[in-house]
Structures are given as C-alpha cells and as structure tokens.
A and B are shown apart, each in its own frame.
Chain A
Amino acid sequence: MKNRFEKVVFYAIVTVIIFYAVFPFYWAIVTSLKSGSSLFNVQLFPTNPSLRNYIELFSEESFIQSLVNSVVVSGLTVILSLIIALLSSFSLARVRFRGRALILMTILSVSMFPQIAVLSGMFELIRYLNLYNSLAGLTFCYLCLVLPFTVWVLRGFLQALPKELEEAAILDGCGPLKMLWKVFLPLAKPAIATTGLLAFIAAWNEFLFALTFTLSSDKRTVPVAIAMLSGSSQYELPWGHIMAASVVVTLPLVLLVLICQRQIVSGLTSGAVKG
C-alpha cells in the first residue's frame, strides 16, 4: 500500500468483491423476511420485515434434526477423509514408487463419473451393507465423494514442502507416521484447514445421495429438508421458507470460516519452519 491511489483502487476492488459475493445472500435475507404477494415485488429494502418464516421453519422439529444430521455427517466426513487422505497423500507426495501416477489417476477417475450414474450401484451397495437410511451410510458415500479431492489437494501441498525437512527428520530418527505428524502436519495447516473446509461444504450441500440413501425424516440432511418444504399445494413454492432455510444453512458455514481463520492463515508465513 504505497500510495493513496493504490489504496483507493484496492478498496474499490474489495468493495466489488463483497458486492458480487454477498449481494445475492443479502437478497436471500431480504426475501426471507417477506411473505405472500410481496415476494413478487422488487424492493431492495424490505418494507415490512417479519421473522415469520424463521419461526415457522424452526417450529418444525424435523428441520432442527436435519441441521444436526448435516453437522454430524459433514463433520465425520471431513475428519475421516482428512485422516485417510493425509496418509495417502503423504505417500503419493513424498515417496517415489512404481505405479504412483496410475494410482493418482485412478483416484481422480472416481470423480469423473456423473453422480447420477453411480447412484443405482451405490444404492444397492448401501442396502447390501445394511447402511440404508443411516447417517453412517451417508458418511461412507461422502467419503468417496470428497476423497479424490482431498487426496489430490493435500498431495499438491505436501509435495511443495522442501525435501530437506524430511531428511532432517529421518536423521532425527523419525518414523514415517511421526514425520507426518510432527513435521508436515504443522506446515500444511493452511492447506489442511482449507481442504477440510471445502470438503465440509461439499458434504453439507450434497443433495442426490442424501435424498436417495435416507428415508425417514429423522435421518435427512438439510438440503433434502429444504427440498421437502412445500406450500399450500404441490405447485406453490414456499419461497419465503426456502430462503429462510438457506440463510439458516449458510450461517453455520460462515461461522466455521471465522473460527477456522487462524488455521487458514498460518503455516510458513508465521515462520513455523523448525529444523
């Protein structure tokens, strides 16, 4: 930030970014405070804001249950996938062995099929494993959904770390697990936090698997619960409710980012490299 001009340009950019990212969300909030015919009128500021949609939303017990389910499933997915992916990405990043490229491609290829195509097969599998209509089953599927991403991203970051670190660790008599835990983990913290966050959101927002692999309302996740909201008939879209629900669904994620703040920005910038 050397001169004033640069500063002005910089803040102008920041403003544009904020407007671009946040305006639709602001619009969702405005809409969620309206109901009835006013939904079809464009007002940049709500004239008669009312929390009715939120109250009605939360008076439905199953919605709160769905929120809890979503937290559990996404949380478990992230924790499990990070553990599994850290191990494998460590191997793929730091060890040279035959077939490495092939394995990388195989892992990636799982993400190349349209979700809809694997739905039937996955459905049979889940039923076969007796995991149908359970959060465990859903977690299991999400694991497969996010693993290619987490493995590849973490591998990318681990690969970028200097080789000398490893050699020093070996000389210190570190086993591979200890090396991963003590040396690489602290350095890759921003990468892990970011990957975890993105994986969390992917699981949090997933709809098709959640709809198909759960049945009873006490097992459903939030996106499915939103799809089940209805108005006074099949055709009426309960727009106010849907918007209220999506605001409610988005806020925990924003909070999560604010909490993860420290983890997202640390690592090498804070001079964490200790030999």
Chain B
Amino acid sequence: MQATESTPLLAIPEPGLMKRFWNFLLYSRVLWAWVFLAPTLIALLVVAGRPLFGTFWLSFTDASLLALDEAQFVGFSNYTTVLSDPDWWTAVWNTVVFSVVSVGLETLFGLGIALVLNSTFPGRGLLRAAVLIPWAVPTVVSAKMWTWMFNDIYGVVNHILVLLGVLEQPVAWLANPSTTMAALIFVDVWKTTPFMALLILAGLQMVPKDVYEAAKLDCDSRLKTFFSITLPLIKPTISIAVIFRSLDALRIFDLVYVMAGTTKGTATMSVYARQRLMEFQEFGSGSAASVLIFLIIGFFTVGYLWLIRPSQRES
C-alpha cells in the first residue's frame, strides 16, 4: 500500500494555482463522467425506454390481442380491476413471503460458502466450480428437474428422506400450498446461492490482506475479526447482491410456473401478470399489474437503500 503513504506529495506550494488546477480537473472529470455514462444511458434508453413507456401506456387502455388498433384510453379502470382482485393480493403476499425467506437464506448460505471458498485449502478451485453448477443450469430445466425429483411416488427426494429415516411416508410435496412454497424456496435457494456466494467472494477477495495481518497482531479472535473487520468491509457488496437477488425474487416466474402452475396458493405477482398478458390476452390489465409490480419493487428497493444508507456513506 505505497499509494496510501504517498499522499503527502499532494502538499504542493502555490495554493491559488493548485486550486484552479483542481477546479479544472474536477470540472473536466464531471464532463468525463457524463461521457462515460453516455453509452449505458443511451443503450438503456433505446432498449428499455420505449418498451417501458409502452407498458405504462397500455396499462391505461383496454387493449387486447384482438383489438390492438382500437385500444381506448380507459383511465385507471385496469388498476381498479387488479387492485380489487383478491387473487392479486394473494399473489403479492406469496411473492413477499417467497422473496424474504429465500433471499434471507441465500444471503446467509452465500456468506458462509464465500467464507469457505475464501480460505486456502486443497481443491478449492474445484469446489468453486462445483458450487456454481446450480446457477448454471437453465432455470426452465432445473425447475422441471426438481418437479421430477419432488414427485411423491418416483421422486428421489422422498426416496432419500425415507432411506435416511427422516420421513416415514413419502410426502406429496407439490400437492398443497405450504409444502409447495417450501419446495419453491428450497429450489430457489439451491439455485441462486451461488450467485450470492460468488459476489461475496469477490468482495472478500478485494479486502486488502494487510487488514487481516493487523487484526492478527492484535490477537483478535477470528469471530471478532469477522464481525469487526470483514463484515463492514464487504457490507456494500452484500447489499448490492441482496438488491439484485431481491429484484429477481420479487419478479420470480419460471420456477413457480413450472413447478406449481398457476395455483392460487403459490402464484406470484409475475405469474399473475403473465396470466393476464399472455393467457387471457388482456394487455391492459396485464400491463397494469406489471406497473404495480414495478411500483412495489421500487418501493422495496428505495426502502432498502434508505435503510442501509448510513453504512454506505461511511465507506
């Protein structure tokens, strides 16, 4: 860390000139910042802007597959339709339960796995590759695979659990809402923990090693080192991982759709929206549901960011 020690170099004479120089740099840096930002903003504006605007617009019309050209402006009636539909609220509740539990577990497991991967031991390269596998299997396939594995009669999950003596009788996991939800969460945790683990591992890798050396000199216990040094340093990484996992979990679709169909007991917000958009051809109310999903997720995200704000400012 020679860079840290070289700071005194900044103390250069002629403060007036220096200040102007800094101002200039600062000014040009802002300029550069916008130039650097331009490709991202343009790409997102072009690719996402139009479709997102389209969804907003459709949500205020009575468009359907049959009458796309004759779509009429209908005000908020699509929103009242969705909001007064008890199925929608069930879907919201299902989604929230699913997201909170699965993201929570994923964060815990992800952190644990990342810590294991971060320590030196023979074969950790292989372990790293192995851990990634669940994330690498396409969701559509892994959902079908788990449906097969969770089958009450020829599924391997029951087979193993009975073999191990955990269960006396095979359980029909996907037959009722509560065990289905548990199964969905189990699969989601299986599938996306690698995402968490890998991101947190990257965070751990970027923690300078000399920080640990210092802690070792202070004879801190490892647990204390973890809580007082490691955790604060990787907190920003964890928050970002949590945000993106939550965004995905709140929009979960394929897994639920493949494993549980559109059963009300487990249908999520996206399943609800997809049903209206694609199966019922109600582009209006489907779009309204999508906008509501957007608002709910936005609300969650802003709330979460606000919650973790102080700790971010520190860093």
Direct contact of A and B (CB under 8 A): yes
Q: Contact residues of A with B, CB < 8 Å?
A: 1, 10, 13-14, 17-18, 20-22, 24-25, 27-28, 31, 40-42, 44, 84-85, 87-88, 90-92, 95, 97, 103, 105-122, 124-125, 140-141, 143-144, 147-149, 151-153, 156-157, 159-162, 164-165, 167-168, 170-171, 176, 187-188, 190-191, 193-195, 197-198, 201, 204-205, 207, 222-223, 226-227, 237, 239, 242-243, 245-246, 249-250, 253-254, 257-258, 261, 264-269, 271, 273-275
A259 to B151 Cα, complex, angstroms: 37
Among B58, B253, B294, the residue within 8 A (CB) of A113 is B294
Q: Contact residues of B with A, CB < 8 Å?
A: 1-7, 9-10, 25, 29-30, 32-34, 36-37, 39-41, 43-44, 46-48, 50-55, 58, 112-113, 116, 119, 121, 125-142, 144-146, 148-149, 154-156, 159, 190, 194-195, 198-199, 201-203, 205-209, 233, 236-237, 240, 243-244, 247, 251, 253-254, 269-270, 273-274, 277-278, 283, 286-287, 290-291, 293-294, 297-298, 301-302, 315
**Is the Cβ of B297 less than 8 Å from the Cβ of A112?**
yes
**Is the Cβ of A42 less than 8 Å from the Cβ of B145?**
no
Interface core residue of B113, B137, B144, B290 (most chain A CB under 10 Å): B137
List the 7 closest A-B pairs by CB distance, nearest first: A121-B51, A117-B290, A91-B33, A121-B54, A144-B47, A275-B2, A253-B136
Contacts of A227 in B (CB 8 A): 140
User: Nearest CB to that of B29 among chain A residues?
Assistant: A95
Contacts of B52 in A (CB 8 A): 110, 113, 118, 121
With A22-B133, A24-B146: A275-B294 Cβ-Cβ less than 8 Å: no
Among A103, A119, A157, A170, the residue within 8 A (CB) of B206 is A157
Contacts of A226 in B (CB 8 A): 138, 140-141
A197 to B201 Cα, complex, angstroms: 13
**Is the Cβ of A273 less than 8 Å from the Cβ of B290?**
no
Contacts of A114 in B (CB 8 A): 251, 253, 269-270, 273-274, 290, 293-294
16 CB < 8 A contacts A-B: A25-B134, A84-B40, A88-B40, A95-B29, A95-B32, A121-B51, A140-B47, A149-B244, A156-B236, A164-B3, A164-B4, A170-B25, A250-B136, A268-B205, A268-B208, A273-B3
A95 → B minimal CB distance (Å): 4
Contacts of B145 in A (CB 8 A): 24, 27-28, 31, 243, 246
User: Nearest CB to that of B21 among chain A residues?
Assistant: A170
A232 to B97 Cα, complex, angstroms: 40
With A24-B146, A108-B301, A117-B55: A274-B40 Cβ-Cβ less than 8 Å: no
**Is the Cβ of B54 less than 8 Å from the Cβ of A42?**
no
With A114-B274, A201-B135: A156-B240 Cβ-Cβ less than 8 Å: yes
**Is the Cβ of B125 less than 8 Å from the Cβ of A261?**
yes
**Is the Cβ of A275 less than 8 Å from the Cβ of B301?**
no
**Is the Cβ of A249 less than 8 Å from the Cβ of B138?**
yes
A27 to B10 Cα, complex, angstroms: 61
**Is the Cβ of A198 less than 8 Å from the Cβ of B199?**
yes
**Is the Cβ of B3 less than 8 Å from the Cβ of A162?**
yes
A141 to B44 Cα, complex, angstroms: 9
User: Nearest CB to that of B54 among chain A residues?
Assistant: A121
**Is the Cβ of B202 less than 8 Å from the Cβ of A144?**
no
B69 → A minimal CB distance (Å): 14
Contacts of B270 in A (CB 8 A): 114, 116
**Is the Cβ of B201 less than 8 Å from the Cβ of A264?**
yes
A24 to B298 Cα, complex, angstroms: 34
Interface core residue of A13, A21, A106, A110 (most chain B CB under 10 Å): A21
Contacts of B233 in A (CB 8 A): 160
Among A161, A223, A237, the residue within 8 A (CB) of B140 is A223
Contacts of A85 in B (CB 8 A): 40
A246 to B145 Cα, complex, angstroms: 10
User: Nearest CB to that of B298 among chain A residues?
Assistant: A112
**Is the Cβ of B48 less than 8 Å from the Cβ of A144?**
yes
